[in-house]
């Protein structure tokens, strides 16, 4: 990780026509894929990299940042001073622990008075907004049920705007922007919703430009699992990990991938529809109209149906938490737990065989099942994927609630700040 930070701060920004994974090598470059960076953009890129390093490392002194980046302290100070002047970072008092003589190092960290970011989670039945500080504290949460998603679009949009407004009214400083995690397909280029199952009224709606007009702020939209990944990357269990995957389970299934320091997005934000990858040719009919999708065997709909068939109590509200409790005293519940864990593991094993991210952060329903569910899933993944050197698979629990998605929605705005001027 430190090497990665060092390479990226000290090295030249990615040059035209080459990638971080190695340009040259006899590959003929016929055109420039990326514009050369202007000096002002290089400045903002370096500032972004310093912020990224702080998220990875926690509070860190200028001297330590310079050492890790392999540059001199003057270079780091030049970058850092702009961030201090912009009230994004502050230099805190030196820690008395670990002083080894000389001038004590003052750790840099995010200023409590820095402008926050508005994070929004838009699901088919509810909108949840909050304000997030740059060091990942959530406050001013507002949550409102949405009108019928099959009805007209105006009342839904008014409700979303009311929820965002409710959160923004509780912050003194104007936020840097609004990030929205959408429980459906989005066009990240245009900031529009492509489609949300259960809320077809929103299909095709240009939400980013609408909210941008209302609140006078930049607005970023992305797919819910990608927001979870950004939340993990900036503020959670993905900090400092060079590659990992996020898998969300619950009423629906989705995922996102982080490779080589980048969140992967298909064209215009496509991809991540893991729930609709196929696990059984001609299997059960899926809500998407196709057959045999992973969604048909590893979501709450399947679990509740099978719980009913097995005659388990609480079948209608069954989830991984209830199932794991029941499995301690009921053989049928224990068998269902194992089948459900295997069904979840099948999709993860496919992802591992395709891209081998090795680290998986699970979110949503399965997290409610605690260690028992996680160990059952991990056991099946290891059975399904052949062992190989360097292929240790780690599966950890993220968040069962909305926190990671809200942080990630805010992180979408932060990611933009890292690429463009602050
Ligand atoms: Zn499907």
Domain range summary for the chain, segments of one domain joined by +: 2-110, 117-230+404-419, 241-397
Average pLDDT of the residues in 106-119: 89
Tell me the CA–centroid distance for residue 274 and ligand 1, in Å.
9
| % pLDDT > 70, the chain | 86
**pLDDT category of residue 307 using cuts at 50, 70 and 90:** very high
Q: Report the chain's mean pLDDT, rounded to a whole number.
A: 86
Tell me the CA–centroid distance for residue 285 and ligand 1, in Å.
8
Tell me the CA–centroid distance for residue 296 and ligand 1, in Å.
7
- In CATH terms, the fold of domain 2-110 is Arc Repressor Mutant, subunit A (1.10.10)
pLDDT higher than threshold 50 for residue 109: yes
**pLDDT category of residue 40 using cuts at 50, 70 and 90:** low
Identify the pLDDT of residue 146. Answer: 95
Tell me the CA–centroid distance for residue 57 and ligand 1, in Å.
40
The C-alpha atoms of residue 184 and residue 156 are separated, in whole angstroms, by 15
- Of 214 and 47, the one with more pLDDT: 214
260-297 pLDDT, tens digit each? 778 888 888 888 889 999 999 999 999 889 999 999 99
Tell me the CA–centroid distance for residue 143 and ligand 1, in Å.
29
Asked if 129 contacts 166 with a C-beta cutoff of 8 angstroms, the reply is yes
- Which residues have C-beta within 8 Å of that of residue 98, sequence separation ≥ 6? none
Superfamily, domain 117-230+404-419: ATPase, nucleotide binding domain (3.30.420.40)
Task: For residue 393, give the nearest of 363, 364, 350, 422 by alpha carbon.
Answer: 350
**pLDDT category of residue 368 using cuts at 50, 70 and 90:** very high
Tell me the CA–centroid distance for residue 273 and ligand 1, in Å.
9
Tell me the CA–centroid distance for residue 286 and ligand 1, in Å.
5
Lowest mean per-residue pLDDT among 170-179, 295-304, 325-334, 374-383: 170-179
Tell me the CA–centroid distance for residue 14 and ligand 1, in Å.
38
pLDDT higher than threshold 70 for residue 101: no
The C-alpha atoms of residue 375 and residue 359 are separated, in whole angstroms, by 14
Tell me the CA–centroid distance for residue 281 and ligand 1, in Å.
12
Tell me the CA–centroid distance for residue 343 and ligand 1, in Å.
15
Lowest mean per-residue pLDDT among 44-48, 83-87, 302-306: 44-48
The C-alpha atoms of residue 414 and residue 422 are separated, in whole angstroms, by 9
Identify the pLDDT of residue 387. Answer: 82
Same fold, 2-110 and 117-230+404-419: no
Tell me the CA–centroid distance for residue 402 and ligand 1, in Å.
24
Alpha-helix runs per DSSP H in 169-311:
207-215, 224-235, 300-309
Average pLDDT of the residues in 380-404: 89
Tell me the CA–centroid distance for residue 287 and ligand 1, in Å.
6
pLDDT higher than threshold 60 for residue 215: yes
pLDDT higher than threshold 60 for residue 174: yes
**pLDDT category of residue 28 using cuts at 50, 70 and 90:** low
Tell me the CA–centroid distance for residue 254 and ligand 1, in Å.
11
Q: Is 355 helix (H, G, I), strand (E, B) or coil?
A: helix
pLDDT higher than threshold 60 for residue 7: no
Tell me the CA–centroid distance for residue 280 and ligand 1, in Å.
11
Identify the pLDDT of residue 10. Answer: 42
Tell me the CA–centroid distance for residue 295 and ligand 1, in Å.
6
Task: For residue 374, give the nearest of 408, 414, 344 by alpha carbon.
Answer: 344
- Of 101 and 420, the one with more pLDDT: 101
The C-alpha atoms of residue 325 and residue 306 are separated, in whole angstroms, by 17
Tell me the CA–centroid distance for residue 156 and ligand 1, in Å.
26
Average pLDDT of the residues in 365-376: 97
Average pLDDT of the residues in 325-345: 97
Tell me the CA–centroid distance for residue 291 and ligand 1, in Å.
7
Average pLDDT of the residues in 99-110: 72
Superfamily, domain 241-397: ATPase, nucleotide binding domain (3.30.420.40)
pLDDT higher than threshold 50 for residue 18: no
Break the chain down into helix, strand, coil percent, rounded to 5.
Answer: 45, 20, 40
Tell me the CA–centroid distance for residue 262 and ligand 1, in Å.
27
Tell me the CA–centroid distance for residue 122 and ligand 1, in Å.
21
Identify the pLDDT of residue 96. Answer: 57
**pLDDT category of residue 418 using cuts at 50, 70 and 90:** low
Tell me the CA–centroid distance for residue 284 and ligand 1, in Å.
9
């Amino acid at each position: 990780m430190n090497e990665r930070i060092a390479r990226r701060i000290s090295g030249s920004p990615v040059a035209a026509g080459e990638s971080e994974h190695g340009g040259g090598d006899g590959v003929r470059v016929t055109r420039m894929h990326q514009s050369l960076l202007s000096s002002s953009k290089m400045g903002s890129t370096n500032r972004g990299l310093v912020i990224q390093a702080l998220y990875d490392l926690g509070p860190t002194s200028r001297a330590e940042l310079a050492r890790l980046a392999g540059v001199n302290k003057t270079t780091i100070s030049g970058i850092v001073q702009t961030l201090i002047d912009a009230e994004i970072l502050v230099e805190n008092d030196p820690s008395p622990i670990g002083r080894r003589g000389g001038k004590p190092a003052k750790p840099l960290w995010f200023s409590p008075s820095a402008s926050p970011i508005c994070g929004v989670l838009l699901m088919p039945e509810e909108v949840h907004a909050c304000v997030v500080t740059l060091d990942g504290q959530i406050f001013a949460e507002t949550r409102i049920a949405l009108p019928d998603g099959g009805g007209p679009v105006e009342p839904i949009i008014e409700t979303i705007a009311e929820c965002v407004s409710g959160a923004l009214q509780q912050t003194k400083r104007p936020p840097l922007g609004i990030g929205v995690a959408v429980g459906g397909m989005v066009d990240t280029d245009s900031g529009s919703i492509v489609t949300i199952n259960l809320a077809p009224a929103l299909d095709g709606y240009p939400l980013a430009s609408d909210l941008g007009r209302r609140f006078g702020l930049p607005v970023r939209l992305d797919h819910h699992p990608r927001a979870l990944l950004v939340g993990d990357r900036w503020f959670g269990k993905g900090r400092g990990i060079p590659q990992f995957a996020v898998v969300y389970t619950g009423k629906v299934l989705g995922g996102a991938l982080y490779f080589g320091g980048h969140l992967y997005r298909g064209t215009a934000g496509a991809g991540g529809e893991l729930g609709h990858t196929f696990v059984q040719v001609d299997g059960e009919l899926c809500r998407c109209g196709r057959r045999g999708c992973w969604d048909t065997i590893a979501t709450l709909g399947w679990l509740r149906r099978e719980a009913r068939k097995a005659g388990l109590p609480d079948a209608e509200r069954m989830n991984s938490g209830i199932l794991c409790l029941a499995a301690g005293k009921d053989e049928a519940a224990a068998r269902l737990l194992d089948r459900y864990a295997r069904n979840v593991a099948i999709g993860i094993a496919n992802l591992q065989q395709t891209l081998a991210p090795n680290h998986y952060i699970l979110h949503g329903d399965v997290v409610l099942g605690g260690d028992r569910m996680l160990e059952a899933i991990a056991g099946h993944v290891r059975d399904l994927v052949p062992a190989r050197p360097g292929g240790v698979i780690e599966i950890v629990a993220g968040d069962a609630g909305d926190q990671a998605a809200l942080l990630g929605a805010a992180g979408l705005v932060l990611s933009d700040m890292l690429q463009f001027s602050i």
